[in-house]
Amino acid sequence: MIKFLGLLLLLVPTTLYASDDIKPDRVTAIYFHRTDPCPTCKRMSSYSETAVTTFKTDKCIIQWLYVDFEANPREAAKYNVTRPSLILVSTLGSRLLDYENLTEIWVKGRDKAAFIKYVQDSIRKKIE
């Protein structure tokens, strides 16, 4: 029985989700906002939504979500969100592959074209 289990372990891939070759079937962009967002945060969410909803691919599903992190602390805690943030979440089926906080949006917030390019390039890196 022990030899059989050892053989079985060799046949089952143990690094299925750790491999760089595994690509997500869904990338969800979540903009976490305050209950009462400031004008800058409203602009960031608008730019984020535009970047995500205009990104076209046939490689996976791209999803956009807008979440009040103050009203949804458990959801925010999953991604270590404590302030307005744009998070890209990569999943395969129901399995979380990874997530990334796109912190550079705050640097690019005055240049809409640079902002959109940064977000779309970040999505592209996850799926290619």
Calculate the CA dihedral of residues 72, 77, 82, 85 and round it to 10 degrees.
Answer: -80
Mean pLDDT, rounded, for 1-11? 39
With 0.85 as the threshold, say if the pTM is over it. Answer: no
Give the residue carrying structure tokens 């409203």: 42
CA 22/CA 18 separation, integer angstroms: 8
pLDDT of residue 128: 87
Which band of pLDDT confidence, cut at 50, 70 and 90, is reported for residue 17?
Answer: very low
Mean pLDDT, rounded, for 113-118? 98
Mean pLDDT, rounded, for 13-17? 36
CA 107/CA 40 separation, integer angstroms: 12
CATH superfamily of 22-127: Glutaredoxin (3.40.30.10)
Note the pLDDT tens digit of each residue in 21-68: 788 999 999 999 999 999 999 999 999 999 999 999 999 999 999 999
Note the pLDDT tens digit of each residue in 49-58: 999 999 999 9
What share of the chain has pLDDT > 70, as a percent?
Answer: 84
In 3D space, the residue among 116, 92, 99, 28 whose CA is nearest the CA of residue 65 turns out to be: 28
Check if the beta carbon of residue 90 is closer than 8 Å to that of residue 24: yes
Provide the residue ranges of all domains of the chain, joining segments of one domain with +. Answer: 22-127
